[in-house]
Amino acid sequence: MLTGVNASDGIGIGKAVVAIEPDLTYKATAHNDPEAERARYQKALDDFCARTQEQADRMAVTVGEEEAQIMAGHIMMAQDPFMMEEVGNRIDSGMGAEQAVDEACEMFSGMFESMEDALMRERAADVKDIRLGLLANLLGKQVVDLSSLQKDSIVVIHDLTPSMTATIDKDHVVGIITETGGRTSHSAIIARALEIPAVLSVENALQKITQGDTCVVDGTKGEITLNPDATALKGYQKIADEVAEAKAALNVFKGKETVTGDGEKRLLVANIGTPEEAINAAEHDAEGVGLFRSEFLFMDASELPSENEQFVAYQKVALRMKDKPVIIRTLDVGGDKEIPYLGLTKEENPFMGNRAVRYCLINADKYKVQLRALLRASAFGDVKIMVPLVTCVEEIRAVKKLVEECKEELRAEGTDFNENIEVGTMMETPAASLIADDLAAECDFFSIGTNDLIGYTMCVDRGNDSVAYLYSVYNPAVLRSIQRIIKAGNDANIMVGMCGEAAADPLLIPLLISFGLDEFSVSAPSILRTRKIISEWKKADADKLAAEIMELKTAAEVKAKLASVVK
């Protein structure tokens, strides 16, 4: 048995297709015609961008707009003025286009790899993907194409780059195995979106797995079984069939209300990153949108999106969800989200620096463009404004003051908007948890962002494998923080939701029911499963379990207890 990183859940059974990357070796020779080499480089760049845009367009349809942004990001990075300048300077010094591209990409990937933040380090893989595409074009080589594989194929490759992942035919590929990558890598994100089981960072996979081997990829456990005997294979197939049947059985919950076992209503909504994803959310029976990450509008632009461009995007979601609630998070820039034209200053620790609401309040004129667009969209549906990374009452008050300024401007212009638009806080910092009662007096709703709440509470970088054991929602410190936030919201009679990954955690759902969570915001594919689990728990039973859980002292004890009672 081989082991690696459990990157995408499920069990895939099929034949190994060992993908060999093209030989991109070249002879470094001096050139005395920089103009010709620049022309070769420009053609390779144009071809790369055109092919990548085709992949992004296809991915937007087959996977989702949010995942397509990864490919769009490759185009922006390849066309980055600094990148192009570095290549051009090397060509002018006498290098051939191949060597100039190679050295410039190595420089940029080295810069990313040297960064302390693990998520930023993974950007190095994007640069290497660009290097692969440009060199292949210059050398006339074909990059790996995974679009025409046989049915039940298990892809085995050293490094599955986003551009390769974008070509995968998800109807034929049933598993992915790589020698590199982690759960937060772009390839892992796309594999999960495609719902293909994946195990990454399997040491020497290319040497241990041969073409045509029968492989069982357990993406949930991070395990791979090679050439199992007939009895074992039958057992794995039974498990895979059970998983497929369980998924199909969830369709009985489509069109049903989200209620607990004793009839208490809960709101089950979706997390989205683009207006187009609202369609997918509605198709998966979402009762609204609990988190629209608006920064993707900014990341896919070369300059600040205008008020009208933003308004159109927000209006689309409001109209597609009809009268269902739509919570839109204002610009959450900084940390791992760099947007060059916003002029963010390089910081030692960007996750604790001038980001999110801090950046927005310092740049109030830019922020008001977004707030005006949100207010205008509120005339077309139940749009709500959510503020990220709040750590003190002054911040939410300052945002509300800007909202009122925008209302005055729109009234004077005769523009319609919802006078009673709700403004709430994304509860994702220990500070917000500690003053949850004070914030509840200022806010119309809370939404708990567990991804950052866990990281900040436990002082853990979730992309750092060496401390990953501490990154757990089951840690008593995190659970107490969640319980405190929900209680403060309930006491103030405001809606409390959760939009982090924990909202769809089957083990955690009974605790959240007991704590009094009103809204569960999850990825679209998780909606029906979450509705089913909520329906299996009565409040009294959840309360009894919660009383036992909150007496436990370690994350391991909590998880074991929750696992022992899963229905």
Note the helical H segments in 332-428. 356-362, 364-377, 393-413
499 is catalytic: yes
- If you count them, how many residues does the chain have? 567
- Using alpha carbons, select from 203, 178, 194 the residue that is nearest to residue 9: 194
- C-alpha 565/C-alpha 208 separation (Å) is 39
β-strand partners of 214 = 15
**65-78 and 34-62 helices, crossing angle to 10°:** 170
β-strand partners of 270 = 289, 522
DSSP code of 465? G
336 and 376 Cβ atoms separated by less than 8 Å: no
391 and 431 Cβ atoms separated by less than 8 Å: yes
H or E, element range at 127:
helix 123-139
- Using alpha carbons, select from 452, 385, 380, 389 the residue that is nearest to residue 416: 380
Which of the residues 105, 186, 215, 406 is marked catalytic? Answer: 186
Q: What b/e sequence results for 144-166 when a residue is b if at least 16 CB atoms lie within 10 Å of its CB, and e otherwise?
A: bebeebeeebbbbbebbbbbbbb
- C-alpha 143/C-alpha 52 separation (Å) is 12
The letter for the amino acid at 407 is K
- Using alpha carbons, select from 460, 459, 448 the residue that is nearest to residue 512: 448
175 and 15 Cβ atoms separated by less than 8 Å: no
Note the helical H segments in 277-325. 277-283, 295-299, 307-320
Strand, helix or coil for residue 176: strand
The letter for the amino acid at 220 is T
- Using alpha carbons, select from 365, 369, 383 the residue that is nearest to residue 308: 369
Which structure tokens are listed for 141?
């080589």
The set of residues, in sequence order, having a beta carbon less than 8 Å from that of 436 and lying 6+ positions away, is: 427, 446, 484, 485, 487, 488, 489
- C-alpha 453/C-alpha 498 separation (Å) is 11
- C-alpha 77/C-alpha 119 separation (Å) is 16
Which of the residues 105, 406, 443, 499 is marked catalytic? Answer: 499
- C-alpha 449/C-alpha 425 separation (Å) is 10
- C-alpha 209/C-alpha 136 separation (Å) is 26
Catalytic residue positions, numbered:
186, 499
